[in-house]
Chains A and B, each alone.
Chain A
Amino acid sequence: MSFRPRITAFLCQWCGSKGADMAGTSRMKYPSTVTPIRVPCTGRIDLTHVLDALTKSDGVLIGGCYTPSNCHYKHGNYQALKRVELLKVFLKQMGVNPDRVRLEWIRASEGKKFAETIRSFTEQLEKLGPLKTQEEAMPE
């Protein structure tokens, strides 16, 4: 069987998860690889959550409101933007492809964009394969 990636999605309650709802109510098709987790705001997502999710799944998607400046709580999206940027520097140092963490701005009305994001992210992760540590990659 081919590799089927697992995605953990942290979606903000105002836009990201509404976008996912919209994709569902409009009966759009997208891969069943995603496990959505609703959070109050992307600014609430601590990097500990992201890294914890990344140890148990293959990719992490963070979905926030519209554009960074249009956060429901004004500053939340900026926190997420800065944190993810810094996290990518860290992941690169540990030999993890930074593309495994993806930040997307999805509006409540954009069910289509949500489905599209999941589709392209799944494809990308299929190409990357599962996350392997040194000893898993080279068994003795």
Chain B
Amino acid sequence: MKKARLAVGYGSICGGCDVAFTDVGTELVDLAELVDIVYWPAVVDGKIEQLKKISDIDIGIYFGAVRTEHHELVLRLLDEKSKILVAFGTCPCYGGIPALGNVETSDSLLQTAYSEAPNTTNDGIPGLRKLKRQTMEVPRLKAFISAPSDLVNFDVFVPGCPPPVQSVSKLIDLIRDYSAGDPIPEMHFIAEETSVCDFCKREKPEVISIDRIMRIHEVEFNEDECFLSQGILCMGPVTRAGCGEEPRCIQKNMPCRGCFGPLPKVRDQGTKFLSSIASSIVLGKEKNMSDEDLQHLVKKQVLDPVGQFYRFALAVAAFNRRYTGD
């Protein structure tokens, strides 16, 4: 059997996906037998010239979101040279955590990072142009962060922040099948097609009415009852399942944060949750208070809708970047 050629490219990453990859343990040995790693900055070589030279990549894996022009270059090169392109982690699928930077403009992000932060004594701000020093070059920041899935067509998606061990095993199985000559299904998601709630074993009431939204430390909650009915925001209803037999955060008594992204056929995870949570607030008791009180109550309870509901999928939402001049 001919060994497949594997390349891994990086966008804007935290490094968690590399760690998640190695979490599979001994299966990594199988992977080493299945593929030749031709490019992977953390493992073999990470120069961009190297990637430009390589041709005939069988499996290209992309980590992270597109923040700079360099990230886009890596993505385009991988897309051009690979037969199968895999989006590994939530960032290439939906933009992930880095996309939260879109609530500010790139200019103001640089301003804060290089001059306004309390521990910085830097006068100059790099600005949005390309920086060049002798032979070295600092890539330019793009105007906003985009999800790689909006820029190129991926064949396989592995959502999760980071993807759980079983997803990585499934990906390795997929690579094995591919090396054996099996075709890969189009737009294949290594995740379930239903929501987290379908897999959650907590007791769920028929109607969810929230009197006051609480933070997890503010309440002594019942470990067998739905988080939402107890007033704790849980992204389960709008999030794709697949993080385990029992959802991994909920199993550990933490509400779902929504890292597997929107459900199939839904693009805008945050807006869906915004709609559903708004209707759950004091549901059925609205007539007991005046309209102004109701409006005030809703506004007071949810302070940061972007950070809470669009945490992992802001880049693919309808309103995905900062608007100015309004």
The chain A residues found within 8 Å of chain B, CB to CB, are 43, 46-48, 51-52, 54-55, 67-69, 75, 78-79, 81-83, 85-91, 93-97, 100, 128-129, 131-135, 137-138
Q: Chain B contacts of A86 at CB under 8 A?
A: 274, 277-278, 298-299, 302, 305
Smallest beta-carbon distance A1→chain B, Å: 20
Give the contacting residue for B279; candidates A82, A100, A134; CB below 8 A: A82
Smallest beta-carbon distance B79→chain A, Å: 23
Give the contacting residue for A93; candidates B277, B284, B304, B325; CB below 8 A: B304
Q: Are B275 and A48 in contact (CB under 8 A)?
A: yes
Q: Chain B contacts of A100 at CB under 8 A?
A: 326
Q: Are B325 and A137 in contact (CB under 8 A)?
A: yes
Interface size on B, residues (CB 8 A): 37
Could you pull out 10 A-B pairs where Cβ atoms are within 8 angstroms? A43-B279, A67-B291, A86-B277, A86-B298, A94-B103, A96-B326, A132-B324, A132-B326, A134-B323, A137-B324
Complex CA gap A62/B143 in Å reads 33
Q: Are B322 and A133 in contact (CB under 8 A)?
A: yes
Complex CA gap A76/B198 in Å reads 27
Q: Chain A contacts of B287 at CB under 8 A?
A: 69
* Closest B residue, CB atoms, query A87: B274
Q: Chain B contacts of A46 at CB under 8 A?
A: 271-272, 275
**A81-B294, A82-B294, A85-B298 known; A93 and B286 CB under 8 Å?**
no
* Closest A residue, CB atoms, query B326: A97
Q: Chain A contacts of B326 at CB under 8 A?
A: 95-97, 100, 128, 131-132
